[in-house]
Amino acid sequence: MASRRPKARRCADSVTVPLAFAFAGDRGEGVLFRTVAVTAEADRCGTFLCFTMEFDFDTHIHTPLCGHALGEPEGIIEAADERGLRMITFTCHIPMPDDSFGGRGIRMRREELPVYRRFVGEAKRLGEARGIEVRYGIEAEIFPDEGVMAQMDEILKAEPFDFVLGSLHHQLPAYHTWLRERGLVTDAEVIRHYFRHLEAGMHSGRYDSVAHPDLIRLYGTLAGPFDPADYEEVIRGALRAAAESGSCWEINTSGKFKGQGPHIHPLPEIFAWAVEEGVAFTLGSDTHAPEMLAQGFDDARRLLDNHGVASLRTFLKREPEERPVTARAAS
Ligand SMILES: [Zn+2]
Ligand SMILES: [Zn+2]
């Protein structure tokens, strides 16, 4: 037995293993430990190897500019380093023209954009010293009324964002009013419209990824429970739009911590349809405090693992990068 570990380490130096081949449990927060049988290498080594699989990036991070998040650049970079993150993308809420999209407690004002830019710049400077790449992103709005999108579009055009998330924050007064004015009150009507609006958002070309795609199940806009099976057709419509347009859907782990069911976004059934439709995925914790970075990433790993998804996508200067989700040897 004593000779096993050195053997395993020697093999491990030259082996990376697609996540889909891995099995067994996980330990730790944000860092995934897998015990895998590597067919070729196991034959040579005659042993099982212990691998570490890391998501070393988090691409949905808020700052105090949105009025409901905590953390300064220093603390966020420190927490990212502690969690083994090597790339983080800030995505604070984009300014919108009026308070029906939330006032100061929800999003920065347009004149505060330079402050946000400086915040990210400071994090970038601090990150460089620790080998952490910091990117400049934004959480933009998906909304059915093009009339209110002009200011947002100006910002998207003017700011040198690396990554643009699209969110339909149905819980905000703007969307409630939109629905009410059209007499859309039943859960079925609301759910169908929500996913049709995501579909239109995917086709708009504004967004690199749709954030927390099944957010409609949370925050009380619906009177009853949400069962994706009742809405498969309309959900698949939005998924096909994503696949056709090259927009991603986000695996957003914050859903697990919102107190209304222990599930990350999207639900497993929806994730399975997304895989079938050929949608690519981004990954974000939607953190509102440094200690929430990479929260729930173990659940994201399980979702990917269960469906044999072996890569995720990140964005730099709005260009997609494919990130193979691979395991590497634990040191
Ligand atoms: Zn959001
Ligand atoms: Zn967010």
Model pLDDT for residues 89-107, shown as the tens digit of each residue: 999 999 999 999 998 889 9
Output the pLDDT for position 112: 96
Output the pLDDT for position 326: 60
Ligand nearest to the CA of 218: 1
Output the pLDDT for position 37: 35
Where is pLDDT greater, at 275 or 54?
Answer: 275
40 secondary structure, DSSP code = H
Residue 265 CB contacts under 8 Å (≥ 6 apart), including other chains: 212, 213, 214, 215, 250, 251, 252, 253, 254, 255
Q: Give 19 Cα–ligand 1 centroid separation in angstroms.
A: 28
Where is pLDDT greater, at 259 or 4?
Answer: 259
Output the pLDDT for position 235: 98
pLDDT at residue 36 is higher than 60: no
Kindly report, residue by residue over 205-246, the tens digit of the pLDDT.
999 999 999 999 999 999 999 999 999 999 999 999 999 999
Q: Give 328 Cα–ligand 2 centroid separation in angstroms.
A: 30
C-alpha dist (Å) from residue 255 to 245, 258, 300: 25, 6, 11
Q: What is the mean pLDDT of residues 127-135?
A: 97
Q: Of the given ranges (19-33, 42-56, 279-293, 307-321), which has the lowest mean pLDDT? A: 19-33
- DSSP per-residue letters across 134-177: EEEEEEEEP-S-GGG-HHHHHHHHHS--SEEEEE--TTSHHHHH
Ligand nearest to the CA of 60: 2
The CA distance from 239 to 33, in Å, is 31
Verdict on whether the full-model pTM lies above 0.85: no
Where is pLDDT greater, at 32 or 198?
Answer: 198
Kindly report, residue by residue over 257-285, the tens digit of the pLDDT.
887 778 999 999 999 999 999 999 999 99
**Backbone phi, then psi, for 129, in 5-degree steps?**
-65, -20
pLDDT band at 25 (very low <50, low <70, confident <90, very high): very low
Output the pLDDT for position 307: 92
Kindly report, residue by residue over 145-186, the tens digit of the pLDDT.
999 999 999 999 999 999 999 999 999 999 999 999 999 999
Q: Give 310 Cα–ligand 2 centroid separation in angstroms.
A: 25
The CA distance from 62 to 91, in Å, is 6
Output the pLDDT for position 259: 72
Stated as kind and residue range, the H or E segment containing 129 is helix 113-130
Output the pLDDT for position 138: 98
pLDDT band at 16 (very low <50, low <70, confident <90, very high): very low
Output the pLDDT for position 19: 30
Q: Give 71 Cα–ligand 2 centroid separation in angstroms.
A: 15
Q: Give 166 Cα–ligand 2 centroid separation in angstroms.
A: 10
Q: Of the given ranges (129-133, 311-315, 325-329), which has the lowest mean pLDDT? A: 325-329
Parallel, antiparallel or unpaired: strands 311-316 and 16-18: unpaired
* 139's tokens: 């959480």
Kindly report, residue by residue over 287-325, the tens digit of the pLDDT.
999 999 999 999 999 899 899 898 999 999 999 999 988
Per domain, the residue ranges of the chain are 56-295
Q: Give 166 Cα–ligand 1 centroid separation in angstroms.
A: 8
Kindly report, residue by residue over 69-81, the tens digit of the pLDDT.
899 999 999 999 9
Q: Give 121 Cα–ligand 1 centroid separation in angstroms.
A: 22
Q: What is the mean pLDDT of residues 131-137?
A: 98
CATH domain 56-295 topology = TIM Barrel (3.20.20)
Q: What is the mean pLDDT of residues 118-139?
A: 98
Output the pLDDT for position 327: 57
Checking 34-37 for CB contacts under 8 A at 24+ apart, the result is 34/327, 36/327
